[in-house]
Every structure is written in structure tokens, then in C-alpha cells.
Structure 1
Amino acid sequence: METARTARVHVIWTCIALVVILIASCLTYVFLPKVPGCQRVNIRSASSLFDPTVTESMFRRQPSREHWLLKADHCSHESGHLKWEDEWAEHRNESILDHTHTWIVIRESGVYLVYIQVNFKLKTQINSSSPVELKLLVDFNYGEGTQMFAAAHDTQLVSANTVQDAKLYTFLLMNMKSANQLSVRAFPGELVNIDPRPFSTYITFLKWSDSW
């Protein structure tokens, strides 16, 4: 009974990830502002999917069914690094995470649709009415170096004597090679919501094609 329920959950989350990412990727630009001093990464705007030549080349070969759903189970208050847990670990023969569970290691080269969502629980600061600055950063390690991107940011004003939720998210269409790595940082780290059920801070990967 438990196995059947787990299988159903697996299928449901796969469908949700496919639908949400596919729809949003066609509507969202992913040329995002970068942190000053960083180089350019091989990330394309999702609007390029409307280019017939790009679409034809992407579907020339049948891609694998590589897909992942990782949920956050810890956030460093100092560095802001999120640590991940594979939601479907019991169905996998190997992990996509390194030994620290901070870096996500790509297994197959190809073009990936990536969706990242981070939830924050905002609390009123004692003797302070200053707005809370929220930030979501993505680090991309391609072997020769690491590039850092400002994926999303927001400013929230917390009402007195309240606890409220805030959400940052971003979509990326990334051409990555095997052994490339990604990590995610969120600030302020102490406000990140990592409640396991229902989890609200997570990242999904879906291999879109073998190449541009």
C-alpha cells in the first residue's frame, strides 16, 4: 500500500514539474541580471523556443527522461547555501548530489529546464521597521571556474506582530555538460522555510533536449 502511494506521488510530482516548467519557460525571459564582475554563462532565453531553427535542432534527437525533484532540508545562516534531499531517492540507483548535498552534479549533457523556488517566513524584527531584503543566487561551476548569478530578489515590509510568507522563484533554460554543478544560495538564510511537509523550497530539473 505504501509502495503504491509513493509511486502515485512520484507520478503526480513529475506531471506537475513538467506542466509548470514547460508553460512558464515559454513565457519567461531568463537573461537575468548578474552580480557585478561575473562572466557570461551559457543560458538562453526561453523565448528562443519560438525560433523554428532552434526548436528543430533541439528535437532532432530523442532526449533521455532525466528529471529530478530536490527539496531543501537545511540552509546555512552564514553562507546562505541550501542543502538538498532527493525526493525520489528510493527510486534512484545513484544521486545527483555531491557529498555535501550542496552542489547538484549534472549526470547527462544536454539542455535543461530548471525551476527554483525558495519560501521565506518573515518575522517582525524587534525595534526595527526596516524592510527585509530577500535574495536568491545561483552558482554555476563548469570546471574551469564558477559563475554567480542574481536569479531573483525582492523587498518585503513585514507588518507588526505578524509572521508572513514570501516567495522567490526563477526559471532557467541551461545548456550544461556532464559534471557541471549548480548550487543555490538564499538570503537571509535564517528566514528560509525548509518545512518538510508540504515542502515549499525546492528545485526541479527536466532534460529538454540533447543540445541547442
Structure 2
Amino acid sequence: MEMAHTARVHFIWTSIALAVILIATCLTYFFLSKVPECQRVNIVSATESMLFKHQRSREHWLLKAHSCSQTDGSLMWENEWEGHRNESEILDHTGKWIVIQESGVYLVYIQVNFKLKTHSNSSSPTSVELKLLVHFNYGENTQMFAAAHDTQMVNANTVQDAKLNAFLLMYMKSTNQLSVRTFPSDMVNIDSRPFSTYITILKWSDSW
């Protein structure tokens, strides 16, 4: 119990530290899309949106991946705070879609770990392309954008660790949904201890 509490505290402070890094460096990047009703993923001024509009909120979540679909690369989530908070409040019945409860601006951090390996018949280094895609479902429409990607060279007969992460600042309305897809799906590391693949969601303010 104490170890689980320590892990929760660690990830909360990790998320806060990442937010500070985002403000200080302004090096975050992601796809800017035009979405009706101003629902969009956007890059905003740190002074305008972070320093002056921050409001306290109870909306904060830590979800860890427990499986990855081999058909479409979708991550299936479970609530790390299960037992303390109701898992049904944030996940749909499939465990694939994260359902937003309150409208507002959210900090979303996604980390996906991979165990890279070559095919059994390969005797030379192989190039492996890593992708992290986010699906944003608003009403009857779904927007997909690439949150992160990388290419790694994997030596023959070895297993290498690799990581993709994305830090997003998003305005979302109540009932909007998020899902995450990763490729190659058969190399996603979903070890539960320590967390290998997870997402943190913190509400920052009610509006931009």
C-alpha cells in the first residue's frame, strides 16, 4: 500500500515537473488542427495561458496501459487510482477511450515504452519506425494527429529499449474522448511495475 502511494505521489510530481519544463523551454511540438467550435490542440503563450489562467481542479488522472491491440495499435487503459476513484468516470466500457468529465484546458502527457527487436530471420541492423497517434473524438467527428514519431536502428539478435512521449495542451469539452495508438504494436512495453506506458491528464483552467 505504501509503495502504491509512493508511486502515485511520484507521478503527480513528475507531471508537475514536466509542466514547468514546458513553460520554461517552450519546445513542445504537436500538430495544429482547426476543429469546429474552437476545440483544438494548440500551442499557446506560456504567459497568457499558463501563468495567469491557472485554476485549481480536482480533475487529474493517471492511467497505465495494460494491453495493446495487435489489430490497430490502440492502447487499453486502467486507472492506477482504482479503489480511490471510480474508473468508470474516466474510461468507457472498452477501456480504450478516455472520456473527459469537465470542459477546460488540459495538460496531457503520454509516454510509451518499446522493446525493440529484429525479426528472427534478420542478420543485420533493422530500421524500426515508432509512432504515437492520438484520436480526438468530439461529437460525431474524430480527429487524428501524430503526437510523436522516431526511427531507431536495432542491432540483430538484440532487444533495445526506446521511448516516445508527447506533451499536449488541449481544450476539451465534457464528453469529448481521447484514445492513443502506437506502432509497432507488438513491441509496446506494458509492464505494470514500474510503469512502462502511461498517460497523465490534469485540468489546468476552464478556458484559454
RMSD: 2.1
Between Structure 1 and Structure 2, how many residues are aligned? 202
Matches within 5 A, 1:18-167: 18-33=16-31, 40=35, 42-46=40-44, 48-51=45-48, 54-55=49-50, 58-59=53-54, 62-93=55-86, 94-128=88-122, 129=124, 130-167=126-163
Quote how far apart the aligned CAs of 1:81 are: 0.2
Identity %: 59
Quote how far apart the aligned CAs of 1:32 are: 2.2
**Correspondent of 1:189 among 185, 189, 196:** 185
Query: SS in structure 1 opposite 2:154?
Result: coil
**Contact kept in structure 1, 2:31 and 2:41, CA below 8 Å:** no
**Mapped partners of 2:50, 2:19: distance in 1:** 17
**Mapped partners of 1:119, 1:25: distance in 2:** 25
Bigger mean CA offset, 156-165 vs 88-97: 88-97
Query: SS in structure 2 opposite 1:132?
Result: strand
**Mapped partners of 2:128, 2:13: distance in 1:** 34
Over residues 175-208 of structure 1, what are the superposed CA-to-partner deviations in whole Å (9 max), with x where a residue is unaligned?
A: 1111000000000100000011111100000111
In structure 1, the gaps of 5 or more residues are none
